[in-house]
Amino acid sequence: MSNKMHIKLTVNGEEQEFLAEPRELLIHTLRERLDITGPHIGCETTHCGACTVTLNGKSVKSCTVFVAQANGADITTIEGIGDPDNLHALQTSFKEHHGLQCGFCTPGMITRAAKFLEENPNPTEEDVRFGMAGNLCRCTGYQNIVKAIFATADELNAAKEAAE
């Protein structure tokens, strides 16, 4: 097929420009075209959240977004959340609290949690469980994920207070 579109994206701060069929799904753009394999495919129906990215400031499941819809967007994946020398507090906290096992949901989970804590820096347990309900985990039973998110909220708030 030759009905390709001219697409421009900013992914993790880097500009990307290419031709793509409009039907190409954003998750495939990331994983196969740009070799950004942190976001995973778990269901292709928007249920599991393994493909979660931040798109123009919102948590989005990239398995059901056409790249055409994302044209011009600013996208952050797990690869843009932190790096080995400068980890996001959630990346440290998930390890500290054993908030992951097989690791398949983890990139989406942390990407969502980072956005969630921006949306709600002082959540209750109910808030966390509801706010994270779009991301499925088969291994942990969520208990340690919730714990890790709370610990991060405290840490980020303390850091904010110290900075003020």
CB of 164 to another protein, least distance (A): 28
Show contacts of 76-79: CB within 8 Å, 24+ apart: 76/11, 76/12, 76/111, 77/11, 77/12, 77/30, 77/36, 77/38, 77/39, 77/53, 77/107, 77/111, 78/38, 78/39, 78/106, 78/107, 78/108, 78/110, 78/111, 79/12, 79/36, 79/38
Q: Is 139 in the site for another protein (CB under 8 A)?
A: yes
Instruction: Please select the residue that binds another protein; options are 34, 73, 89, 137, rule is CB under 8 A.
Output: 137
Query: Residue 159 — φ and ψ, nearest 5°?
Result: -65, -40
Q: Is 23 in the site for another protein (CB under 8 A)?
A: yes
Match 């904010």 to its residue by tokens: 160
The region, left, alpha or beta by phi > 0 then psi within -120 to 50, assigned to residue 142 is left
CB atoms inside a 10 Å sphere around CB 79? 19
Q: Is 105 in the site for another protein (CB under 8 A)?
A: yes
Q: Is 123 in the site for another protein (CB under 8 A)?
A: no
Q: Is 106 in the site for another protein (CB under 8 A)?
A: yes
Q: Is 101 in the site for another protein (CB under 8 A)?
A: yes
Residue 15, beta-bridge partner list: 10
Site string for another protein, 49-68 (x = CB under 8 A): -x------------------
Q: Is 8 in the site for another protein (CB under 8 A)?
A: no
CB of 56 to another protein, least distance (A): 20
| CB closer to another protein, 49 vs 73 | 49
Which residues would be at the binding site for another protein (CB under 8 A)?
A: 21, 23-24, 28, 31-32, 35-45, 47-48, 50, 77-79, 82-84, 87, 90-91, 94-96, 98, 100-107, 110, 128-130, 132-146
